[in-house]
Amino acid sequence: MTMAGALNRALADALAADDRVLIFGEDVGALGGVFRITDGLTAQFGEARCFDTPLAESGIMGSAVGMAMNGLIPVVEMQFDAFALPAFEQVVSHVAKLGNRTRGGTRLPIVIRIPYGGGIGGVEHHCDSSEAYYAHTPGLTVVSPSTPQDAYSLLRAAIASPDPVVFMEPKKLYWSKGPVDTSLTAELRRAEVVREGSDVTLISYGPSMPVALAAAEAAAADGRSVQVVDVRTLTPFDDETVAAAVRGTGRAIVIAEAQGFASVASEIQARVFEQCFEYLEAPVRRVTGFDIPFPSPKFEHWHLPDVDRVLDAIDSLHWDDAPHSEETP
Partner 1 sequence: MSRLRSPESATALLPRDTPVQLVTAAGEHTPDPAYAIPTDDELIRAYSSLVTGRRINDQCNALVRQGRLAVYPSSNGQEACQIAAALALRETDWLFPTYRDSVAIISRGVAPAEAMVLLRGDWHSGYDPHEHCVAPQATPLATQLLHAVGFAHAAKLRGEDTVVLAMCGDGATSEGDFHEAMNFAAVFELPVVFFVQNNEFAISVPLSRQTAAPSLAHKAIGYGMPGQRVDGNDVAALLAVLGEAVDRARAGAGPTLIEAHTYRMLAHTNADDDTRYREHEAVQAWTGRDPLNRVRTLLRDRGLLSDEAEAQFTEAAERTAADLRATMHAEPEVDPADLFRHVFAEQPAMLDAQWRMLQDEIDRTEADA
Q: Which is nearer to partner 1, 139 or 207 (CB)?
A: 139
**Interacting residue with partner 1 among 98, 186, 203, 280 (CB under 8 A):** 98
Question: Site mask, partner 1, residues 175-194, x = CB under 8 A?
Answer: --------------x-----
Question: Please, what is the minimum distance in Å from the beta carbon of residue 259 to partner 1?
Answer: 24
The reply on whether position 59 binds partner 1 by CB under 8 A is yes
Q: Which is nearer to partner 1, 141 or 263 (CB)?
A: 141
Q: Which is nearer to partner 1, 38 or 141 (CB)?
A: 141
Restricting to residues 298-327, name those near partner 1 by CB under 8 A: none
Question: Please, what is the minimum distance in Å from the beta carbon of residue 129 to partner 1?
Answer: 22
Question: Please, what is the minimum distance in Å from the beta carbon of residue 243 to partner 1?
Answer: 11
**Interacting residue with partner 1 among 17, 121, 124, 138 (CB under 8 A):** 138
Helix, coil or strand: residue 71: coil
Cβ-contact 145, 207 below 8 angstroms: no
**Interacting residue with partner 1 among 162, 179, 293, 323 (CB under 8 A):** 162
Burial class (CB in 10 A: 0-12, 13-18, 19+), 42: buried
The reply on whether position 284 binds partner 1 by CB under 8 A is no
Q: SS3 letters for 216-234?
A: HHHHHHCCCCEEEEECCEE
Q: Indicate if the alpha-carbon torsion angle 185, 109, 208, 275 is positive or negative.
A: negative
Distance of alpha carbon 219 from alpha carbon 202, whole angstroms: 11
CA angle 277, 280, 286 (to 5 degrees): 90
Strands (E), the chain: 21-25, 50-52, 73-77, 111-116, 141-143, 165-170, 192-195, 200-204, 226-230, 233-235, 252-259, 285-289
Q: What are phi and psi of 51, to 5 degrees?
A: -145, 155
Restricting to residues 243-262, name those near partner 1 by CB under 8 A: none
The reply on whether position 141 binds partner 1 by CB under 8 A is yes
Residue 2's identity, in one-letter code, is T
**Interacting residue with partner 1 among 62, 148, 170, 289 (CB under 8 A):** 62
- Torsion-angle region of residue 206: left (phi > 0), alpha (psi -120 to 50) or beta? left
Determine the interface stretch with partner 1 among 104-112, 117-125, 197-205, 321-329 (rule: CB under 8 A): 104-112
Restricting to residues 30-49, name those near partner 1 by CB under 8 A: 48
Question: Site mask, partner 1, residues 65-94, x = CB under 8 A?
Answer: xxxxxxxx-x-----------x--xx--xx
**Interacting residue with partner 1 among 36, 107, 247, 309 (CB under 8 A):** 107
The reply on whether position 136 binds partner 1 by CB under 8 A is no
Concatenated DSSP letters for 72-132?
Answer: -EEEEE-SSGGGGGGGHHIIIIIITTHHHHTTTSS----EEEEEE---S---TTSS---HH
The reply on whether position 277 binds partner 1 by CB under 8 A is no
Centroid of chain to Cα 141: 10
Judged by the rule CB under 8 A, the positions of this chain that interact with partner 1 are 22, 48, 53-54, 56, 58-59, 61-72, 74, 86, 89-90, 93-94, 97-107, 138-139, 141, 161-163, 189, 235-240
